[in-house]
Amino acid sequence: MGAVVGATAPQHIARLRELMPRSIFLIPGVGAQGGRPELLGPAFAPGPAAALVPVSRGIAAEPDPAAAAERLREMVWGVSTA
């Protein structure tokens, strides 16, 4: 089973991960809604495949969407493997 865990309330992620150690988290809210990738580390405690971070407006609205996607990928990957 998975869970939707908002990136705009990162203070709850560690506790939710504790309660659901094997669940995959879908973490919307990064980018336009104010969620910050650098605060999502606890979601990835089981490993890099423990969460999905969808970002659309934060990429599509950029002048160079490919570069924006790469920056976000690097940020998320950085916290997921830390």
CATH code, domain with 47: 3.20.20.70
Are 25 and 50 in contact, with CB atoms under 8 Å apart? Answer: yes
Q: What is the predicted pLDDT for the residue at 37?
A: 93
pLDDT at 70 over 80: yes
Q: What is the predicted pLDDT for the residue at 54?
A: 94
Other C-beta atoms within 10 Å of 15: how many? 10
Instruction: Give the pLDDT confidence of 13-67 residue by residue, as tens digits.
Output: 999 999 999 999 999 999 889 999 999 999 999 998 999 999 998 899 999 999 9
Q: What is the predicted pLDDT for the residue at 29?
A: 94
Q: What is the predicted pLDDT for the residue at 18?
A: 96
Range of the domain at 66: 2-80
Q: What is the predicted pLDDT for the residue at 32?
A: 83
Domains of the chain: total: 1
Are 40 and 50 in contact, with CB atoms under 8 Å apart? Answer: no
